[in-house]
């Protein structure tokens, strides 16, 4: 269905970030360009070279435009220094001379020659041992794609440059795409694939943007400019809504707005039960810019800084100084609140190889998280140095991801001690009492939490991965999303064991997976004795609200009853009944 349709059509997916957006559709496709390949006559070479020059001029104009928008704060979060590098590449004599010489010699069309020259250029750069040149490889790739599209006369479909009130529709939005989104103009997004805990969903919640995922082949059936309503609560996308639907949604929006308004009053109030049991409610961030959203909802710190997002959209790893700048900024802005910086958790669905394909056959079971860090000492050292230096600027904590047993913690801590010793020798200041924690997200870690607790200052339960690995359910696959069951007896036992092990060893325990941000599960986690919940900005007010509407005793009784249940459905029914009673407006 590619023809323009004016009849209303509803698509059902999974609502992963609350809110309703009404706007125009932009279909984002990352399909590779098809590069034509044909011979030309000798007299046409000048024409081809002129086309190349025109494409370069157009590219420069686009980059200048992008630079201006970034400077005026209306563009994406991309640092404008990158644009300078891209601009200089459009004037690179090595690249230009090679293309023009080869057109003259080989008598081939410019797209074909340019594509071939740029491909070789990128390959050579990416293979060089020097980090500086490898970094340039990513820039060359970006700018070459832009030049090629200009040569082909294709509109550059750029997520950083969109019309106001745009709903982005895509097959998938890789973390690299979501970081490039034009935050000013995008009001929501919807993808064909994904689930509640895929990173697209997590990113949407951090950005407080309504989002729906798992819409199957939606991106093939809609087209640019169509009017749509995106409902992140119910998981629906209504394309070309009728007058009547617009009216009904108008009413609904008024009601939801009043709920949001009510929740916003909780900003400066603690997450404290009716019988005065208090827990901390912190926020999850992917990029330093997410801090603004957390502050708006009154987060009591950052419970999870997913640092891997600093490493995306590039081929090389960020330098110590770049990382320090990001971490120190967050530490300063959140001070005196704590900021838990998680060391690199590259792998799974968070890092893809150059061609967009996962680099491993089974990336979720592969070289991920702490395994990658311990196996890449240079990268790990650079990050730990940056985090330690930033600890002098605020209340910083370190957390290791994907721990599967105490051995990895001991090894990581030894490494950390070495890095601290080096900094001391260099006279660099850092927080000597910096707390170190382990994520509990691999079942083997949850089962041996008693041993791990002796080596760390805190735990944070990563329910997204804990459920995925315990239940053997790919967290990003919409086909098995219905089997993803936080209330399963196995999950409840792993959480209980983790909390008890932490408290037996006098350390605190938080939950930073998506389970923590769902109002339905908050009473359960609270009752299990969790000390902190860390959630996306969009979920935070709901978490506070639930906590403030019940007693700790009630939550403890519920947790105890849940542990007696023989299946997840019964637990879910209890949780639904409780939420219905304490605040039905929060029901999904």
Binding site for Mg ion (CB under 5 A): 441, 462, 465
Backbone angles phi and psi of 446, in degrees to 5: -65, -35
Distance of closest approach, residue 77 Cβ to ligand PEP, in angstroms: 19
Catalytic residue among 185, 337, 373, 512: 512
For 68, the token pair is 């201006």
Instruction: Give kind and range of the element (H or E) at residue 380.
Output: helix 377-390
Residue whose CB is less far from Mg ion, 441 or 531? 441
Residue whose CB is less far from Mg ion, 11 or 469? 469
Distance of closest approach, residue 463 Cβ to Mg ion, in angstroms: 9
Check if the beta carbon of residue 576 is closer than 8 Å to that of residue 552. Answer: no
Distance of closest approach, residue 157 Cβ to ligand PEP, in angstroms: 28
Distance of closest approach, residue 185 Cβ to ligand PEP, in angstroms: 27
How far is the first Cα of the chain from the last one, in angstroms, to the nearest whole number?
31
CB atoms inside a 10 Å sphere around CB 336: 7
Distance of closest approach, residue 441 Cβ to Mg ion, in angstroms: 5
Give CA–CA dist 32/279, Å, rounded: 49
User: In the beta sheet, which residues pair with residue 194?
Assistant: none
Residue whose CB is less far from ligand PEP, 465 or 532? 465
Question: In degrees to the nearest 10, what's the CA dihedral of 122, 127, 128, 132?
Answer: 60
118 binding partner (options ligand PEP, Mg ion, none; Cβ < 5 to 8 Å by kind): none
Residue whose CB is less far from Mg ion, 175 or 462? 462
Catalytic annotation on 512? yes
What residues line the site for ligand PEP (CB under 6 A)?
Answer: 304, 306, 345, 441, 462-465, 512-513
512 binding partner (options Mg ion, ligand PEP, none; Cβ < 5 to 8 Å by kind): ligand PEP
Check if the beta carbon of residue 444 is closer than 8 Å to that of residue 423. Answer: no
Distance of closest approach, residue 438 Cβ to ligand PEP, in angstroms: 12
306 binding partner (options ligand PEP, Mg ion, none; Cβ < 5 to 8 Å by kind): ligand PEP
Give CA–CA dist 152/55, Å, rounded: 9
Residue whose CB is less far from ligand PEP, 231 or 345? 345
Question: In degrees to the nearest 10, what's the CA dihedral of 96, 97, 101, 106?
Answer: -40
Q: Which residues contact 539 (CB under 8 A, 6 or more apart)?
A: 18, 205, 517, 518, 519
Residue whose CB is less far from ligand PEP, 280 or 512? 512
Residue 481: which of 167, 188, 191 has the closest Cα?
191
Q: List the 186-191 sheet strands across, edge first.
A: 9-12, 236-239, 227-231, 20-28, 166-170, 186-191, 211-213, 14-17
- Residue showing tokens 């990336």: 363
Distance of closest approach, residue 63 Cβ to ligand PEP, in angstroms: 33
Task: Decide: residue 460, CB within 10 A, 0-12 exposed, 13-18 middle, 19+ buried.
Answer: buried
Backbone angles phi and psi of 505, in degrees to 5: -105, 15
Residue whose CB is less far from Mg ion, 115 or 205? 205
Residue whose CB is less far from ligand PEP, 150 or 307? 307
| Angstrom distances, CA of residue 307 to CA of 117, 237, 450, 500 | 34, 32, 27, 29
Residue whose CB is less far from ligand PEP, 229 or 512? 512
179 binding partner (options ligand PEP, Mg ion, none; Cβ < 5 to 8 Å by kind): none
Check if the beta carbon of residue 439 is closer than 8 Å to that of residue 342. Answer: yes
Catalytic residue among 86, 108, 196, 199: 199
Distance of closest approach, residue 479 Cβ to ligand PEP, in angstroms: 20
For 395, the token pair is 């209340």
Distance of closest approach, residue 184 Cβ to ligand PEP, in angstroms: 26
Catalytic annotation on 199? yes
Which value, in Å, is the radius of gyration of the alpha carbons in the chain? 25
DSSP codes joined into one string, 83-145 = HHHHHHHTT-HHHHHHHHHHHHHH-B-HHHHHHHHHHHHHHHHHH-S-HHHHHHHHHHHHHHH
Give CA–CA dist 4/240, Å, rounded: 10
486 binding partner (options ligand PEP, Mg ion, none; Cβ < 5 to 8 Å by kind): none
Question: In degrees to the nearest 10, what's the CA dihedral of 179, 181, 184, 188?
Answer: -110
103 binding partner (options ligand PEP, Mg ion, none; Cβ < 5 to 8 Å by kind): none
Provide the annotated active-site residues. Answer: 199, 512
């Amino acid at each position: 269905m590619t023809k323009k349709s004016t009849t209303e059509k509803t698509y059902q997916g999974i609502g992963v970030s609350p809110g309703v957006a009404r706007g125009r559709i932009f279909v984002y496709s990352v399909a590779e360009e098809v590069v034509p390949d044909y011979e030309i006559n000798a007299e046409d070479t000048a024409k081809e070279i002129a086309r190349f020059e025109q494409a370069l001029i157009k590219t420069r104009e686009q980059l200048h435009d992008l630079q201006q928008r970034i400077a005026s704060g209306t563009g994406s979060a991309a640092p404008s220094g990158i644009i300078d590098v891209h601009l200089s590449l459009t004037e690179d004599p090595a690249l230009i001379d090679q293309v023009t010489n080869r057109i003259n010699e080989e008598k081939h069309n410019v797209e074909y020659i340019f594509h071939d020259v740029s491909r070789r250029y990128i390959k050579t750069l990416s293979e060089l041992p020097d980090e500086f040149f490898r970094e340039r490889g990513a820039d060359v790739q970006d700018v070459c794609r832009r030049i090629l599209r200009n040569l082909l006369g294709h509109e550059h479909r750029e997520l950083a440059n969109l019309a106001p009130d745009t709903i982005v529709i895509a097959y998938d939005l890789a973390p690299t795409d979501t970081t490039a989104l034009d935050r000013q103009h995008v009001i929501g997004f919807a993808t064909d694939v994904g689930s509640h805990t895929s990173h697209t969903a997590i990113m949407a919640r951090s950005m407080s943007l309504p989002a729906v995922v798992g819409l199957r082949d939606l991106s093939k059936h809609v087209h640019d400019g169509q009017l749509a309503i995106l409902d992140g609560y119910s998981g629906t996308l209504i394309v070309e809504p009728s007058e009547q639907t617009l009216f009904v949604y108008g009413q609904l929006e008024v009601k939801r707005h009043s709920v949001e308004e009510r929740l916003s009053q909780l900003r400066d109030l603690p997450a404290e039960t009716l019988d005065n049991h208090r827990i901390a409610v912190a926020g999850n961030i992917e990029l330093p810019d997410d801090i603004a959203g957390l502050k708006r909802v009154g987060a009591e710190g950052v419970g999870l800084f997913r640092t891997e997002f600093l490493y995306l959209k590039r081929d090389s790893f960020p330098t110590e100084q770049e990382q320090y700048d990001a971490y120190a900024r967050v530490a300063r802005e959140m001070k005196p609140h704590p900021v838990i910086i998680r060391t690199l958790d590259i792998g799974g669905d968070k890092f893809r190889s150059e061609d967009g394909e996962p680099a491993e056959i089974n990336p979720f079971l592969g070289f991920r998280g702490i395994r990658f860090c311990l196996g890449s000492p240079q990268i790990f050292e650079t990050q730990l140095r940056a985090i330690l230096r930033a600890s002098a600027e605020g209340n910083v904590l370190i957390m290791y991801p994907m721990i599967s047993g105490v051995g990895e913690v001991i090894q990581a801590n030894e490494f950390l001690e070495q890095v601290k010793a080096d900094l001391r020798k260099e006279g660099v200041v850092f927080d000597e009492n910096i707390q170190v924690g382990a994520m509990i997200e691999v079942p083997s870690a949850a089962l041996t939490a008693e041993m791990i607790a002796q080596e760390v200052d805190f735990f944070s339960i990563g329910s997204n991965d804990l459920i995925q690995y315990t239940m053997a359910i790919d967290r990003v696959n919409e086909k098995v999303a219905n089997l993803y069951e936080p209330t399963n007896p196995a999950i409840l036992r792993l959480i209980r064991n983790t909390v008890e092990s932490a408290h037996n060893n006098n350390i605190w325990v938080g939950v930073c997976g998506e389970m923590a941000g769902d109002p339905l599960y908050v009473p359960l986690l609270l009752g299990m004795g969790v000390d902190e919940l860390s959630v996306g900005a969009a979920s935070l007010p709901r978490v506070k609200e639930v906590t403030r509407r019940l007693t700790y005793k009630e939550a403890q009784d519920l947790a105890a009853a849940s542990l007696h249940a023989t299946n997840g459905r019964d637990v879910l029914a209890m949780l639904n009944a409780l939420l219905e009673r304490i605040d039905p407006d929060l029901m999904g």
